[in-house]
Amino acid sequence: MSGRAARAVVSSLRSGFIVLACSYPFVLAALACFIRYFDANLWLAAVALYLPRFPLLFPIPVFVALFLFVGRRKLVWTQALALAVVLFPLMGLTVPSYPRKVEAAPPIRILSFNIDSGYAGPERIAAAIERSGADIVVLQESRRASQALEELLGKRYPHVQQKPYSLVFSRFPIVEVSEHEKLTTPARRRSGRFQRHVIAAPTGPFALYNVHPISPRGTLSVRRFRTVLHVLRNPTGLSTENIRDLEQNVELRRQQMEAVANMARGETLPVILAGDFNLPELSGVFETNLGDFQDGFQIAGSGFGYTFPAELPWMRLDRILASHHFRFVTFSVNCEGLSDHRCVTASLERTGEP
């Protein structure tokens, strides 16, 4: 190859990389829109919803170095834009807000925790719950540890209600528990996987929903989300049968979220929803059904708020939501080393009618 031809190839490659780098923020924005608007309709978007997004940061310093190397410093702004797209819509970064002033009435403190069947030990889990100072504790995946936890926490929480997919401890009376109808699916009738309780708090009664829709783990063939998705590393993973199972899983979770949203929106009482929602940032299913409720982390939290998987979290699955009868004062993520999830805790003030 002659020197002129070599220079032409280098020039073409350099131009191609510059175009790629300049296009990167727009590719990221398109990815965010793809996940947000198609996670309930296209299996590929449903898979992308649960993939870690921090690797999308890695090309940014490479592109910045490229611009500096070729003398295109004025184009560095494109990577600042790319960084913003990754951090905020894709990864869900929340900027810390000013501390909220607590009014005269003491706030209600709620803890929500998927305890992974209590494998870490009921004693350790109970100790963490007591340290939290929560008035109401909402647990998911608790069946194997429920009896032990009732014995350990009975003195602090005189009111306990256990239902399928739900265990609630409360310092305040639980005056009503409502059953919900099962969902009709092509295979069989399925549970909505949520439970409604009415809590008689000192500032007035409210409806508390413990929410835990079906997990995508089985259909994605991912062990605790720590390995590469089976459908992307195994040729059989793209079989028609596996895609159909994934689509059915997505549809069932959508129906479960729709059922709890319809019930919660029809309440005459103030509403708090807490639990493992199994839907991370950018979920269109979540936004369509529960986007009208306040998200405690977005209002009173900061950072990313990731809760799963606990050792190296990259998804915010665990949430506390509320109707506009409440005001979030604080929000935190805690309980490391006690489950495959981390717990979330929020303090809320009653504000009256919205």
List the chain domain ranges. 3-90, 108-350
Which residues share a beta bridge with 195? Answer: 210
Half-sphere exposure of 182 (CA within 13 A, CB side): 9
- C-alpha dist (Å) from residue 200 to 86, 136, 334: 42, 11, 27
Among the listed residues 305, 326, 313, the one whose alpha carbon sits nearest the alpha carbon of residue 96: 305
Buried b (16+ CB within 10 A) or exposed e, 313-349: bbbbbbbbbbbebbbbbbbbbebeebbbbbbbbbbbb
What is the reported pLDDT for 228?
41
Which CATH fold would you assign to the domain 108-350? Answer: Deoxyribonuclease I; Chain A (3.60.10)
Among the listed residues 137, 135, 110, the one whose alpha carbon sits nearest the alpha carbon of residue 125: 137
pLDDT, one tens digit for every residue, the chain (354 residues): 566 665 665 567 778 788 999 999 999 999 999 999 999 999 899 989 999 999 999 999 999 998 998 888 999 999 999 999 999 999 999 987 766 666 657 799 999 999 999 999 999 999 999 999 999 999 999 988 999 999 999 999 999 999 888 999 999 999 999 988 899 877 788 899 999 999 999 999 999 999 999 998 765 544 434 444 444 455 445 567 778 888 889 999 999 999 999 999 999 999 999 999 999 999 999 999 999 999 999 999 999 999 999 889 999 999 999 999 999 999 999 999 999 999 999 999 998 666
Q: Is 82 exposed, middle or buried (0-12, 13-18, 19+ CB in 10 A)?
A: buried
Which residues, at least 6 apart from 215, have a Cβ–Cβ distance to it below 8 Å? 278
Peptide bond into 61 cis (omega under 30): no
What is the reported pLDDT for 226?
41
Regarding pTM above 0.85, the answer is yes
